[in-house]
């Protein structure tokens, strides 16, 4: 019997993110095993069995005078066969034509994951402890024939033939990535759910976080007050943007991961754990704006407030400082900078309070007689006191915008 065309819930639409990938070989994370539970009332029965054990305890009561059940058949599966955008954290339900027997064999899933099957009346539902990662090819096998699933009524018998449903999990949502980064303080935004019910994810429930990564709750983003348009104009809800990259790098730095600004499988795994534990960004949110209009300045915001506004120097003609927005990727309290001067001579300069943001361009202290002009070889040079002060705030992933006329 084929399950193609069965009535089932259609998965919620997902946002695609090319940087978020996983393979079937890394498809499963296991947290807990299932248990056994029994309850009964009226004419229903419930059975909970672990994913790897079909034995269960069930107490059943029967209504008097109920008509005999017909042969047992599969009515629907909550996940359509052939689907390629399944929610890897969602429960999976198989509905039959009549109530199931307490001792019925249970369906199986491949790849195997921790979780439990619950039989209640005519349905068998699998709830994962922690579901599948994106791009996982999943096979659901429903036993039939000799040793197949059994109906409660004698007339229902055993499911005549085994059946199989195959589907593939979708991709994690960029919107959910942004929601989590916002909630944990890695973005200068607030996120408000459309209703309390849509955002209710139980504290510590890692699989609920996983399910929401596929199908994010509805809501809206808003910027925290105080940030300039040079930053806010670059934000795109539900789409990749430079704010996301900086936030991911900041998270990667805090988690001791490679800082590439891409939400790959390991970043998502750690991010979902952090969301379940509400582990917030310990550094807060910092943004720096270098303005090349004369006199040149650097302004730095932290958690929406201006913490520094100082004169600065940017690059001379031929060694100009590029306009754009870039995340801080390398930091030193002290180091030497080597290079070639415009006259061909070489320099080996001691430099303090360094935050590299674009290739060899960095925010740093450099001793000058004056500031506010095109004087550097591409860096944003600062006086000692402001350079030292802001260095503690320009942590990894901090966005630096350079704007204004390039020399």
> Which CATH number covers residue 391?
2.40.440.10
For residue 352, pLDDT over 80 is answered with yes
Residue 195's pLDDT is 83
Of the three residues 135, 168, 201, the one that is the final residue of a domain is 168
- 352 burial (CB, 10 Å; 0-12 / 13-18 / 19+) is middle
Same domain, 219 and 313: no
List the strands of the sheet with 305-311, edge to edge.
Answer: 305-311, 297-302, 286-291, 399-403, 324-327
Record the pTM.
0.82
Last residue of a domain, one of 146, 168, 190: 168
Number of domains in the chain: 3
Determine how many CB atoms are found less than 10 A away from the CB of residue 320. 19
The CATH number covering residue 133 comes to 2.60.40.3710
Per-residue pLDDT of 37-56, as tens digits, reads 333 333 343 444 444 333 33
Q: Is 257 exposed, middle or buried (0-12, 13-18, 19+ CB in 10 A)?
A: middle
pLDDT digits (tens, 9 = 90+) for 133-153: 999 999 999 999 999 999 999
On the CB side of 205, CA atoms within 13 Å amount to: 15
Examine the domain organization and report whether 259 and 310 are in the same domain.
Answer: no
Bond from prior residue into 295 cis (ω within 30 degrees of 0): yes
A 10 A CB-CB count for 202 gives 10
Q: Are residues 341 and 379 in the same domain?
A: yes
Residue 252: closest CA among 235, 231, 266, 272: 266
Which pair of structure tokens corresponds to residue 218? 């509805």
What proportion of the chain, given as a percentage, has pLDDT over 70?
83
Is pLDDT of 26 > 60? no
Same domain (yes/no): 31, 159: yes
Answer yes or no: is 380 within a domain. yes
Asked if residue 5 belongs to a domain, the reply is: no
Domain boundary among 226, 246, 277: 277
Q: What is the pLDDT of residue 197?
A: 63
Query: What's the rounded mean pLDDT across residues 282-304?
Result: 98
Residues 39 and 135 in one domain: yes
| Tens-place pLDDT, residues 154-189 | 999 999 999 999 999 999 999 999 999 999 999 999
Confidence of residue 196 (pLDDT cuts 50, 70, 90): confident
Asked whether residue 212 falls in the same domain as residue 310, the answer is no
Tell me the C-alpha distance between 97 and 158, whole Å. Answer: 12
Give yes or no: residues 158 and 186 share one domain.
no
Q: Same domain for 257 and 233?
A: yes
Same-domain pairing of 58 and 128: yes
Please check whether residues 302 and 268 belong to one and the same domain: no
Would you say residue 13 lies in a domain? no
Domain that holds residue 320: 286-403
Residue 24 clears pLDDT 90, i.e. is over it: no
At residue 13's C-alpha, the angle toward residues 11 and 17, to 5°, is 120
Helix axes 206-214, 265-277, angle to 10 degrees: 130
Provide the 10 A C-beta neighbour count for residue 245: 20
Does residue 157 sit in the same domain as residue 47? yes
- For 63-81, the pLDDT digits (tens) are 455 567 789 999 999 999 9
Q: Are residues 162 and 218 in the same domain?
A: no
């Amino acid at each position: 019997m084929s399950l193609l065309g069965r009535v089932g819930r259609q998965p919620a639409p997902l946002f695609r993110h090319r940087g978020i990938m996983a393979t079937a070989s890394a498809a499963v994370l296991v947290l807990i095993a299932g248990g056994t539970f029994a309850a009964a009332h009226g004419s229903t029965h419930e059975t909970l069995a672990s994913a790897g054990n079909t034995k269960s305890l069930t107490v059943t009561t029967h209504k008097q005078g109920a008509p005999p059940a017909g042969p047992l058949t599969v009515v629907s599966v909550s996940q359509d066969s052939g689907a390629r955008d399944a929610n890897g954290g969602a429960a999976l339900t198989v509905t039959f034509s009549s109530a199931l027997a307490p001792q019925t064999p249970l369906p199986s899933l491949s790849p195997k994951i921790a979780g439990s099957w619950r039989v209640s009346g005519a349905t068998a539902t699998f709830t994962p402890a922690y579901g599948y990662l994106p791009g996982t090819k999943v096979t659901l096998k429903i036993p039939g024939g000799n040793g197949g699933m059994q109906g409660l009524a004698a007339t229902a018998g055993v499911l005549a033939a085994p059946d199989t449903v195959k589907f593939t999990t979708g991709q994690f949502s960029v919107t959910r990535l942004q929601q989590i980064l916002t909630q944990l303080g890695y973005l200068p935004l607030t996120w408000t759910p459309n209703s309390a019910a849509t955002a209710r994810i139980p504290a510590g429930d890692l699989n609920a976080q996983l399910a929401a990564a596929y199908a994010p709750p509805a809501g809206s983003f808003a910027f925290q007050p105080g940030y300039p348009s040079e930053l806010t104009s670059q934000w795109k809800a539900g789409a990749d943007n430079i704010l996301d990259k900086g936030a991911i790098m900041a998270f990667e730095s805090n988690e001791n991961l490679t800082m590439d600004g891409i939400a790959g499988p390991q970043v998502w795994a750690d991010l979902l754990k952090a969301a379940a534990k509400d582990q917030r960004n310990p550094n807060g949110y910092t943004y720096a704006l270098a303005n090349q209009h004369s006199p040149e300045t650097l302004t730095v915001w932290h958690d929406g407030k201006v913490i520094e506004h100082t004169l600065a120097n940017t690059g001379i003609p031929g060694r100009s400082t590029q306009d754009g927005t870039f995340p801080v990727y390398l930091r030193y309290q002290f180091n030497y900078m080597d290079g070639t001067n415009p006259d061909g001579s070489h320099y080996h300069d001691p430099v303090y309070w360094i935050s590299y943001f674009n290739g060899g361009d960095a925010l740093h202290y450099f001793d000058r007689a004056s500031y506010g002009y095109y004087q550097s070889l591409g860096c944003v040079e600062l006086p000692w006191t402001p350079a030292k002060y802001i260095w503690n705030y320009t942590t990894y992933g901090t966005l630096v915008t350079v704007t204004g006329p390039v020399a």
